Amino acid sequence: KYEIRVIVLAGLLLSAFFFAILYNDFSRNIDVPACVTYSGTFKVPHVKKLDRSTYEVYGVAKMWAFTPEDLTFPEGSTIDLYLTSDDVVHGFNIVKKGVNLMAVPGATTKTTVTFETAGVYRILCHEYCGSGHQYMMGKITIT
């Protein structure tokens, strides 16, 4: 009897989490990180300007830095961020923006971030990746 209750409870909990994701994704317009088909081209770090306030960033994490390391965009910019890793699994956290991605070798993670306020946004690696892990950071400057 207890087993059935536990199974039902776990099932309810799972669907609650699932609906929370859907709710955040569609109703509150929060971008849920997505996986994109990987191709070797993602391994070349670069920034592509689409228009005055929209950019694509192709970021690569590698022991122990993110490239491009230092990015500057104008206030109000929206950035499509494609992230991959050239060696091991790294974390990618934009402080104060609630952006939290994984950089996985052979895969691409994508998210979209809009920077409404000027300032310096630190990027930290939050996945232990070797002896230089604590020095692995980057920054985005919004002017």
Q: Could you list the residues that contact ligand CUA (CB under 6 A)? A: 61, 64, 90, 125, 127-129, 133, 136
User: What is the rounded CA–CA span in Å between residue 1 and residue 18?
Assistant: 26
Choose between 83 and 129: whose C-beta lies nearer to ligand CUA. 129
User: What are the start-end ranges of the H helices in the chain?
Assistant: 2-26
Q: Give the span between the Cα atoms of 140 and 138, in whole angstroms.
A: 7
In the complex with ligand CUA, the residue whose CB is nearer, 37 or 131, is 131
119 or 130: CB nearest ligand CUA: 130
**Least distance to ligand CUA, CB of residue 126, Å:** 7
CA–CA gap between residue 104 and residue 54 (Å, rounded): 25
The C-alpha angle 130, 67, 45, rounded to 5 degrees, equals 125
Minimum CB separation from ligand CUA for residue 51, in Å? 32
Alpha carbons 83 and 6: distance in angstroms, whole number? 39
Least Å distance between CB 121 and ligand CUA?
18
CB of 64 to ligand CUA, least distance (A): 6
**Least distance between ligand CUA and beta carbon 137 (Å):** 9
Could you tell me the CA-to-CA distances from 117 to 1, 31, 101, 113 in Å, in that order? 55, 18, 21, 12
State which residue, 45 or 55, has the beta carbon closest to ligand CUA.
45
Q: Which is nearer to ligand CUA, 57 or 136 (CB)?
A: 136
